[in-house]
Amino acid sequence: MMDATDMMNESAKLPLGKRLLSYAVKYLLPLALTVALVWYMFEKVNFHQMMDIIRQGVNYWWILLAMFISIFSHVFRALRWRLQLRALGINPPLMALCCSIFGTYALNLVFPRLGEVWRCTYIAQREKASFTTVFGSMLADRMTDTLTVITLTIFTFIVASGALITFLTKYPVGQGILALAQNPVFWLALAGVIAMVVIGFKVFRHTKIVKKISEMAREFWQGFMVVTKMEGRWKFLGLTFCIWGCFFFQLYVAFYAFSYTAELCFTDGYVFGLVPCLVAFVLSSIGMAVPSNGGLGPWNIAVMFGLAIYGITDAEGTAFSMLVWSAQTVMLIILGIYTMAYISFGKKKTA
């Protein structure tokens, strides 16, 4: 069974060229994507106009409320993860789990996706548990989020199909996605690739690398399947609603901070602004799948496009997305500092 130290040792054994390539893919590529997407975003807007909107037309009390709501999303995530870990016989205190979540998001601001590895390493070492089992539970956590985004996307296509189809047909990428989804050759090719992988694993099942992958996959699967078998799975589902409810409402209350988005909340046919917010929320959630530093770039562009469907200008959409993103980033930094203090104090206490 491989723990975090073993994984680092295995990584250190790689040739220098492969290690540099691995670091470039993990850290430099997300940074390059962030820079490119932010540059693209600001190419589309008048920067001075955007800054005028932020300086003069914002009710910051709503922004502070959105920041406060975001804290609860992290606490609910820690509570949900605790259900999984307890089912695996791992019982860290709630505050340690909360800090692991705070630290994850703070670390992802600098090193995308590294936060997930860090939180698993922190909990595994703190509780002297198997890293791969803890990592498997984290994968289940993330898989649940993916299924939630898919469900929300389907629901949004039902209640706001016109707006989303407008989004997809307006831009070349969206047109490509629609064309690909409607192409039977794509689905046949995908099925063929999956079949080849399955056959390859069966044919080469006795080789060392396949055995190693299979062992890790079994441990990951154990961490994932615990969700369907554990006690409290209905609590797990309820906490999932709480997490994503917080995500949605922290964006929704920010609508009231700007006059032009607040107008959407009082326009007939928009159901108190819930539908426009849902469109922007789903697009931004999909945008978060793009590796970048804290979502900067893809999240902002997705929100900007979602608001543009409802007549919000690029400058206004960028001002909204940048201020909301910046406020959440400030909150993550504060929570990250708190996490470092908590871990440091815990080490001194046990020394």
pLDDT at 267: 79
- pLDDT tens digits along 83-101: 989 988 899 999 999 999 9
* Buried b / exposed e along 303-320 (16+ C-beta atoms within 10 A): bbbbbbbbebbbbbbbbb
Instruction: State the Cα–Cα distance between residues 112 and 286, nearest whole angstrom.
Output: 16
pLDDT at 1: 37
Helix, strand, coil tally for the chain in percent (to 5): 80, 0, 15
The answer on pLDDT for 346 being more than 90 is: no
Confidence of residue 14 (pLDDT cuts 50, 70, 90): low
The two most distant CA atoms of the chain are separated, in Å, by 67
What are the beta bridge partners of residue 258? 58
Q: Which residue has the higher pLDDT, 345 or 247?
A: 247
Q: Where are the domains of the chain?
A: 59-159+207-344
Confidence of residue 105 (pLDDT cuts 50, 70, 90): very high
* pLDDT, mean of residues 278-290: 87
What size, in residues, is the chain?
351
Which residue in the block uniquely carries the two structure tokens 């936060």? 115
Number of H helices, E strands in the chain: 17, 0
Instruction: State the Cα–Cα distance between residues 334 and 68, nearest whole angstrom.
Output: 12
Say which range, 29-38, 78-87, 279-288, 320-329, has the weakest mean pLDDT.
29-38
Q: How far is CA 19 from the centre of its chain?
A: 26
The answer on pLDDT for 27 being more than 70 is: no
Confidence of residue 241 (pLDDT cuts 50, 70, 90): very high
* pLDDT, mean of residues 205-214: 79
Distances (CA, A) of 245 to 116, 155, 156, 252: 22, 15, 15, 10
The answer on pLDDT for 136 being more than 60 is: yes
* pLDDT, mean of residues 39-52: 64
Task: Name the burial class of residue 351, with classes exposed (0-12), middle (13-18) and buried (19+) by CB atoms within 10 angstroms of its CB.
Answer: exposed
Instruction: State the Cα–Cα distance between residues 84 and 174, nearest whole angstrom.
Output: 37
Most confident listed range (33-47, 173-187, 236-250): 236-250
* pTM for this prediction: 0.78
* pLDDT, mean of residues 323-346: 90
Residue 141 near residue 132 (C-beta atoms within 8 A): no
The answer on pLDDT for 3 being more than 50 is: no
Instruction: State the Cα–Cα distance between residues 172 and 178, nearest whole angstrom.
Output: 10
Confidence of residue 301 (pLDDT cuts 50, 70, 90): confident
